[in-house]
C-alpha cells in the first residue's frame, strides 16, 4: 500500500449535481495531483497542488476545482456534473523537493464516479 | 506538447513466456523522465520505474527489465518468465522537466492490458 487514501471509493451522482472527492496524501508528501481516468484510457492530469496553491493545471474546465489543506490532504470538486465526467479519479502524492529527493508519485486506489 | 504511445492495446501470453510492452514518446523538453506503472483490477497505479533522459542504461529488477533508447524515443518494458500475477494494465508515462521542481505532471499512454494465461 502507498499510504495514499481516497474517499469515497464509489459514488453515483445525477447530471447537474456537484461532487467532492477527498485524498489523504502519504506522510511527508506536500504535493498532490489529481487525474481523471476514463474507461479504457490512461489517466489525464487535472491539476496539482503544492503547499495549498494550485501548481499546474491540465485541459479541464473551471467547474473542476480543488483545495489543499495545511495537512496536505486535498479535495477535488466538480460542479454541474456531466455524463462524461464518469471516470476513475486518482489522487497522487509526492514530495519532489524532499531530501533525499523523492520524485515518484504514489497513487491512491481512486474514486469511481458514475454520473447518471 | 508531450505524447506517449502504447500501440499494443492487449497482449496475451502463456505463463513463463517472455513479453515486451512497447512505449514510444514525444517531447520537446531536453530534460524529462519516463515511468512505468502497473494497474491491477483494484485500480491503484503501482510505480515500477523512473528513468531520466540523461541515463540510457538499461535496468533490470528481478524478472523486469527496461530498454531506454533515446535515438528511437522508446522505453520498452520486458517481463521475463511471466506469471499470472503479472496480469494487469501497464502504463508508460512521461513528465517534462526535472520532477524536483514540483511540476511532475505525468502524461500517460493509453495502456496495454496484459493477460497471462496459466
- How does pLDDT run across B29-52, given as a tens digit for each residue? 888 889 999 999 888 899 898 888
- What is residue B62's three-state secondary structure? coil
Single out the residue of B96, B112, B98, B100 nearest to residue B2, CA to CA.
B96
Q: Is B3 on the interface with A (CB under 8 A)?
A: no
Residue B16 burial class via C-beta count within 10 angstroms: exposed 0-12, middle 13-18, buried 19 and up: exposed
Which chain B residues are within 8 Å of A87, Cβ to Cβ?
A: none
Single out the residue of A96, A42, A60 nearest to residue B108, CA to CA.
A42
pLDDT at B105: 83
The mean pLDDT of A49-78, rounded to a whole number, is 93
pLDDT at B60: 86
pLDDT at A103: 61
Q: Which of A18-27, A88-97, B96-105 has the lowest mean pLDDT?
A: B96-105
The residue of chain B nearest to residue A106, with distances taken between CA atoms, is B47
Question: Which residues, in sequence order, are CB contacts of A18 under 8 Å at separation 6+?
Answer: A77, A78, A79, A80, A81
Single out the residue of B80, B9, B84, B4 nearest to residue B40, CA to CA.
B84
The mean pLDDT of A99-109, rounded to a whole number, is 71
Amino acid at each position: 500500500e502507498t499510504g495514499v487514501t481516497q474517499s469515497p471509493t464509489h459514488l453515483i451522482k445525477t447530471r447537474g449535481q456537484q461532487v467532492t472527492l477527498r485524498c489523504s496524501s502519504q506522510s511527508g508528501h506536500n504535493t498532490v495531483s489529481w487525474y481523471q481516468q476514463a474507461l479504457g484510457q490512461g489517466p489525464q492530469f487535472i491539476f496539482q497542488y503544492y503547499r495549498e496553491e494550485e501548481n499546474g493545471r491540465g485541459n479541464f474546465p473551471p467547474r473542476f476545482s480543488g483545495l489543499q489543506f495545511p495537512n496536505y490532504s486535498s479535495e477535488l470538486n466538480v460542479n454541474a456534473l456531466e455524463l462524461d465526467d464518469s471516470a476513475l479519479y486518482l489522487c497522487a502524492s509526492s514530495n519532489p523537493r524532499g531530501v533525499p529527493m523523492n520524485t515518484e508519485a504514489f497513487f491512491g486506489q481512486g474514486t469511481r464516479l458514475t454520473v447518471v | 506538447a508531450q505524447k506517449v504511445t502504447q500501440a499494443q492495446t492487449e497482449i496475451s501470453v502463456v505463463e513463463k513466456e517472455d513479453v515486451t510492452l512497447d512505449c514510444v514518446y514525444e517531447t520537446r523538453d531536453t530534460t524529462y523522465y519516463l515511468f512505468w506503472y502497473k494497474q491491477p483490477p483494484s485500480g491503484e497505479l503501482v510505480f515500477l520505474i523512473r528513468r531520466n533522459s540523461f541515463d540510457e542504461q538499461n535496468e533490470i529488477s528481478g524478472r523486469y527489465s527496461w530498454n531506454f533508447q533515446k535515438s528511437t524515443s522508446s522505453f520498452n518494458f520486458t517481463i521475463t518468465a511471466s506469471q499470472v500475477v503479472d496480469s494487469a494494465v501497464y502504463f508508460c508515462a512521461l513528465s517534462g522537466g526535472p520532477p524536483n521542481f514540483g511540476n511532475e505532471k505525468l502524461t500517460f499512454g493509453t495502456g496495454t492490458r496484459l493477460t497471462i494465461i496459466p
